[in-house]
Amino acid sequence: MFSYLSKKIAIPNGVKLKCVSWNSEQGWIACGGENGLLKVLKLDSSTSKGGQQNSNLSMNQTLEGHNGAVMVVNWNENYRKLTTSDQYGLIIVWMLHKGMWFEEMINNRNKSVVRDMKWTADGQKICIAYEDGAVIVGSVDGKRLWGKELTLQLALVEWSPDGRLILFCTVQGECHIYDGNGNSLSEVHLFANKGMGQSPLIGIDWHDGAEGSGNHNHPALAIGFENGNVQLMRSETDEQPVFLQTGMRASQIQWNRSGTVLSVAGLQSGGDSRDVSMVQFYSPFGQHLRTLRVPGTSINALSWEGSGLRIALAVDSYIYFANIRPDYKWGYFGNTLVYAFNKPDKAEACVIFWDTVTNERYAKYVKRLIAIRACGEYCILATSGEESGQFILILCNAIGSPVDSKYIEVEPLYITMTPYHVTAASESYVYVWQYRTLVSKLTSVDTSALNVNRKEGRERVFHIDNRSTSGELSVDDNKLRVPSAATNDPICAVAASNKLLLVGQESGAVNRYSLPHLALEGQYILRCRPQVMALNCTSSMFSVIDVNGVLTFFDLLPTPSVAPRGTSVMGSHLSFERKDTWDMRWSDDDSELFAMMEKTRMYIFRGTEPEEPVLSSGYICEFHDLQIKAVLLDEVMKGPEKPNKEQIINFETKSLRDTRNLLQDVSIQDAYQFIKDNSHPRLWRLLAEHSLEKLDLLVADKAFVRCADYHGIQFVKRLRMLDGEIKQRAEVSAYFKRFDEAESLYAEVDRVDLAVEMRMHLGDWFKVEKLIQSGAGDDSTFTLAWNNIGNYFADRQKWVKAVAYHAQAQNTEKLVECFYALEDYQGLEKLINMLPEGSQLLCNIGVKFVSVGLCEPAVTAYLRAGDVKAAVDACILLNQWDQAVALAEKHNFQQIEGLLGKYAGHLLEKEKKIAAIDLYRKANKHTEVASLLAQLAKTSAAAKACPLRVKKLYVLAALEVSKFRQIALVADMSVQTHGITANKGTVVVQTLDGLMTLDQVASENSAIEGSWRGAEAYHFWLLAHRQLYDGQFEYARRTSLILLEYEDLLEPVDIYSFIAISSYYSKHYGRCSKAFMKLESIPELSREKLDSFSDLATSIFVKAFPFRFVFHHMMLHL
């Protein structure tokens, strides 16, 4: 990040300020000072075209009510209230009414001074801490919730983000934890204040995480001490906090709204015993980001703007505003801007790939994102791995799809990328990955074989202190492992081009390595500590931005010198420098041109000569063809999910602007001389285009030659061959994409055919059709136009219109696709007869009919194409086995029987007998159907299924037998019905064959022959039951006696039981007695069952014929 002072507001009468607070939601700034001074200011929130924020005051109101010095100001952002307190303990709550601030509530305890007061994150409660230990917690509407007298001398207070805890800091440097009701819980362990004497606390800030920071595990609680020590904690009980030593006498600390930067204000002793006011900025993990020096004797207070782009400092009787240039995670390649931001509800960073031309956006969520770099056709996302000490480099394309990745153990603190290499460096090690070469897209993908196989990419890693980088490291499982060794001179910057790699160290040493061989060529010594380095397009010079924002240059090609360690190098650090620089970009095609951002201005330099600056706060994306493209990332981050093209701005260099003006105002020869003196391919191309407009072909040819535009040279040659000025103008208009103008010029010379040809090259077939209708072209051109228009509508899924044009062009192949897409199967079927027999397109039609389950037209199409096998396969696929068998028999296709049997066997293995029966029925295999139905009937009967179902199964089996018998016996008649003569001997032979086949099948499967008999058995069984239930007991008895003939099909127990009960009700006791005798003589029955039958018989016959029954049993036992 970079920071610089941008504005200063003086307080009237030189009143010294004590406090300042910036409302992060609405932008109001409250400042309090001596003599009861209290002001509410507001800066204009509008933004200029270049992205620069306006700093004019839109509000400046003085609030009267305090008599003593205002010591504390605090905003309630949710309810738009301002709370202030002075040195006498007077508390005033201010409210906004019609754009002005008025008193709403006043409170004065008259016992002690208010040392601090804080609102909860939701603005519902306020905690007021008095110096004597009194604590009051109130609601937003002024009600007192609770109060307490603590035995502490309070200095500071802070709420936890969820409002459940309150931290009270004492003057003695202690921090106590209380719950939301004022009950003491514990004490915060202040590791930063141990062993150094008790230093007073000067600030406490607990970030609420509302804006999201991308890492939910980073420290959010900051506690600062007057001695400059700062303790950063993840929670109030964190036993491993981050410890900072700022080296200054601190006065205040505060997080920015996103919790990514901590600012610490204070005084640092200078070399001449003068104290220097400054603000130091740190990351949540304690990394020093930037130091901002501020004029004045002391910084009494500081406060961040809500966007995090500005900070307000209360210094003496002034308010200083400093602009912050954040280090966004972003990159630009091709026409794609890739950037990352954090959402409060997600731990992952959201990475957006935004095509700035088509305005298409692709989102990708990445865990533990460290940095983004982009170049050429790809970008690199550097992330932390799941394991400690593991890092991942993900190579992505323009839509965010991962192309390749590498697992490394070199922490990517500093990353640079070229079209061929990715370089990542930690403090000690440098890792270089050649992800592509001049002859291949990617080194990790081998496309030489038919199968695309991954192979090892070229990777090297070396320690910065090693003098040799030879030896390519082996990579196992895509993971690179390196030893851990520290260095006394850590790496602080890297830069690379296609030829060189530069690695800068904190001492100012810069090692130079050649690429792609990565050989150490020498070392340069800088006058400063580099922070950002960049090589120009010819690798003859590199720029350096140091930690203080000073831009300098190092020329790689002057006189030789001798560097330390005995290494001979070439180069010198130039005296040219620019201060307050936070971004810089070399031109891609001119080694002398570069653009830089200095505070809120963009400068373009040729060598050391600057052009007029342009007001801008954009981040430079690219510098190419004398044009600079920049992006207003500050504006993009305000609505990162919906960027717009207005946030991309373009600037032109002075030479490009002057050339445009000269071409309009002076002759072509004068402009030619100017461009010759300021030669650049873009200027020559501009001259060539202007010369074409003027039809000055000689100058245009020279200009195209100077900018090495081969196609332009060929175009000029073609123009010279044309026989008229109007034709030349028409070609020039077409060259500049003014096609309507070119068409009118062609029509003017009666060459509509050339207009047709032009439109055909453009693919504007609607215009081609219109021109042909006016009289140009022939039938073949008409057909071509109709086909292409049909394709246009088909690509947009407007199938009806596509059918109309393809029908006019008689393009049957396209009509097939359109009818299929429209689901117009009737139209598709009509095409079958329109196509010649044997056409391959018929097979395509058959495939489409099969895909939607239409068997008949599919078979017709296949047969017309002459592919019988495909027709049979279609029938099988659609389960039309009867048609498949018929086709197989007709065309002598023998494989059908095997397929049928195999499929039926598969169904039977899966216990799908009904499906197998249906399959055989469709194939007209009556004997197999009858056999399966008979087996199913027996199985159902054994399972005591519904008798009616069993009867139906037997009837179905018998019907199939009848069909088979009919086919076998009347096969001879089919010969006569088809008009084929046959003698009586032939008929007899065929009849005998049919009878023998029937007998053979019946002998092999007895179930087939007994199907009707099974149906009869169950018919009488059902009839007997119906008669019994209807009260026709005599009929039921008689019918039951018939069942005796079907003991092989029905259970004997069931038969005799029914005879017994029907005889009993019909009063035929003799028959009933015989039935019981039969039941008692069945050996398969258990003894318990036999005894139950005997007991039942006894109970029946003792009542009906007791003496006869006794005699009967006596005779039975004798």
> What's the whole-number mean pLDDT along residues 499-518?
93
> Cα(775)–Cα(114) distance, rounded to whole angstroms?
94
3-state secondary structure of 264: strand
pLDDT at 1105: 57
Does the pLDDT value for residue 1069 go beyond 90?
A: no
> Cα(965)–Cα(770) distance, rounded to whole angstroms?
72
pLDDT, tens digit, 9 for 90 and up, residues 590-605: 899 999 999 989 999 9
pLDDT, tens digit, 9 for 90 and up, residues 681-708: 999 999 999 999 999 999 999 999 998 9
CA distances from 569 to 467, 496, 532, 605, 969 (A): 15, 18, 22, 27, 110
> Cα(248)–Cα(804) distance, rounded to whole angstroms?
83
pLDDT at 275: 86
DSSP letters spanning 693-746: HHT-HHHHHHHHHHTT-HHHHHHHHHHHH-S-HHHHHHHHHHHTT-HHHHHHHH
Q: Distance of alpha carbon 256 from its chain centroid, rounded? A: 29
3-state secondary structure of 21: strand
pLDDT at 871: 87
What burial class does residue 265 get, using C-beta atoms within 10 Å of its C-beta: 0-12 exposed, 13-18 middle, 19+ buried? buried
CA-atom Rg of the chain in angstroms:
48
> Cα(905)–Cα(913) distance, rounded to whole angstroms?
10
pLDDT category of residue 469 using cuts at 50, 70 and 90: low
> Cα(330)–Cα(371) distance, rounded to whole angstroms?
8
Does the pLDDT value for residue 372 go beyond 90?
A: yes
pLDDT, tens digit, 9 for 90 and up, residues 608-618: 899 999 999 99
For residue 548, the cross-strand partners are none
pLDDT at 1076: 83
3-state secondary structure of 1107: helix
pLDDT category of residue 196 using cuts at 50, 70 and 90: low
Convert 971-991 to b/e letters by CB count within 10 Å (16 or more is b).
ebeeeeeeeeeeeeeeeeebb
Pair 418, 497: CB distance under 8 Å: yes
Q: Find the range with the poorest average confidence among 412-426, 846-860, 1077-1091.
A: 1077-1091
Q: Are strands 627-631 and 619-624 parallel, antiparallel or unpaired?
A: antiparallel
3-state secondary structure of 129: strand
Q: Which residue has the higher pLDDT, 890 or 129?
A: 129
pLDDT category of residue 1073 using cuts at 50, 70 and 90: confident
pLDDT at 1111: 46
Q: Percent of the chain, pLDDT > 90?
A: 51
Residue type, 496: A
Q: Is 247 left (phi over 0), alpha (psi -120 to 50) or beta?
A: left
Tell me which long-range contacts 442-447 makes (C-beta under 8 A, separation of at least 24): 442/395, 442/403, 442/404, 444/404, 445/404
pLDDT, tens digit, 9 for 90 and up, residues 221-269: 999 999 999 999 999 999 889 999 999 999 999 999 888 999 999 999 8
Q: Find the range with the poorest average confidence among 484-498, 810-824, 872-886, 1012-1026.
A: 872-886
Most confidently predicted of 392-401, 447-456, 757-766? 392-401
Backbone angles phi, psi at 861, to 5 degrees: -65, -45
pLDDT at 442: 65
> Cα(135)–Cα(117) distance, rounded to whole angstroms?
10
Return the half-sphere exposure (C-beta side, CA atoms, 13 A cut-off) of residue 466: 15
For residue 503, the cross-strand partners are 494, 511
pLDDT at 1113: 47
- Please report, to the nearest 10 degrees, the dihedral formed by the alpha carbons of residues 698, 703, 704, 708 taken in order: 140
Return the half-sphere exposure (C-beta side, CA atoms, 13 A cut-off) of residue 795: 6
Taking residue 787's Cβ as centre, other Cβ atoms within 10 Å add up to 18
Residue type, 244: L
Does the pLDDT value for residue 517 go beyond 60?
A: yes
> Cα(739)–Cα(719) distance, rounded to whole angstroms?
17
CA-based torsion, 896, 898, 900, 906: positive or negative: negative
Pair 55, 23: CB distance under 8 Å: no
> Cα(354)–Cα(399) distance, rounded to whole angstroms?
8
Does the pLDDT value for residue 922 go beyond 80?
A: no
Residues with Cβ within 8 Å of residue 1059, at least 6 apart in sequence? 1037, 1040, 1041, 1043, 1044, 1071, 1072, 1075
Tell me which residue of 202, 218, 310 sits closest to 264, measured CA to CA: 202
Convert 1066-1091 to b/e letters by CB count within 10 Å (16 or more is b).
bebbebbbebbebbbeeeebeeeeee
Return mean pLDDT, the chain. Answer: 85
Does the pLDDT value for residue 493 go beyond 90?
A: yes
pLDDT category of residue 475 using cuts at 50, 70 and 90: very low
Q: Find the range with the poorest average confidence among 58-62, 146-150, 510-514, 934-938.
A: 934-938
pLDDT, tens digit, 9 for 90 and up, residues 1092-1106: 878 788 778 776 654
CA-based torsion, 470, 471, 472, 475: positive or negative: negative
Tell me which long-range contacts 468-474 makes (C-beta under 8 A, separation of at least 24): 468/520, 469/513, 469/518, 469/519, 469/520, 470/519
Tell me which residue of 588, 593, 653 sits closest to 622, measured CA to CA: 588
Cα angle value 315/317/321 (rounded, 5°): 50
> What's the whole-number mean pLDDT along residues 440-445?
61
3-state secondary structure of 276: strand
Q: Give the helix/strand (H/E) hosting 960.
A: helix 947-969
Return the half-sphere exposure (C-beta side, CA atoms, 13 A cut-off) of residue 358: 10
> What's the whole-number mean pLDDT along residues 1068-1083?
82
The answer to whether the predicted template modeling score (pTM) of the entire model surpasses 0.85 is no
Tell me which residue of 897, 841, 852, 904 sits closest to 872, measured CA to CA: 897
> What's the whole-number mean pLDDT along residues 87-103?
93
> What's the whole-number mean pLDDT along residues 837-850?
90
Find the length of the chain: 1118
| Token pair in block for residue 218 | 């980073």
3-state secondary structure of 784: helix
Tell whether omega for the bond before 1083 is within 30 degrees of 0, i.e. cis. Answer: no
